[in-house]
Amino acid sequence: MDIVLASGSPRRKELLETLGLDFAVVPAKGEEIAPRGAGPAETVEALSRAKAEEVAKGFANALIIAADTVVWADGRILGKPKDETDAKAMLHLLSDNTHEVYTGVTVMYGGKIVVGSECTKVFFRKLSEGEIDRYVQTGEPMDKAGAYGIQGPGSLLVERLEGCYFTIIGMPNPKLYRALRSVGILPEWMEKEPEFIASCPDVK
């Protein structure tokens, strides 16, 4: 059976590798258009499904895995920054504030499709102007939703979390595991543990 990750994110690739799966990476190329008026959970679920459906057209019998992540702050969605000015504006918004990170996951296989999402609350400490400028200069914020990456230098901006760490990185593996079970697929090393139920570690 072929497995395809419909994402070019290095973070998602690394997280999927931790499950022991052998897969190909085929990023979706279509424009990401969120449903008008949708909330963050509905948005990431719709976008992850759209990515999976696009890539599935070229792989009729493959297992397709797709994901999408957004940051929800002060009642609006923050995607990836357009430029450094946009990145700084996002970080000013997140500074000394609380926001939520949503990741949607879609699994398609054998005519079945499973879509879901997870949410993690993130608490930022107060950031100085100099800290924001220096962090943006690292380049890390430019391809990240909300203009920060928690697995790199951006971890120093965070005071604490409530929820699943993997959700922030972009692939909540426990949610993915349950979706794989729903379509009848398990990583080979788990096939003898049918009653195993994954849970995501909280970091508080």
Q: Does residue 102 contact residue 118 with C-beta atoms inside 8 Å?
A: yes
What is the spatial distance between Cα 92 and Cα 69, in angstroms, rounded to a whole number? Answer: 20
2 given a catalytic annotation: no
Residue of 2, 22, 68, 133 marked catalytic: 68
Say which residues have a Cβ less than 8 Å from residue 167's Cβ, sequence separation at least 6: 69, 101, 102, 103, 118, 119, 120, 200
Helix (H) or strand (E) holding 86: helix 84-94
186 secondary structure, DSSP code:
-
What six digits make up the tokens of 112?
A: 């079945």
Backbone angles phi, psi at 41, to 5 degrees: -65, -45
What residues act catalytically?
Answer: 68
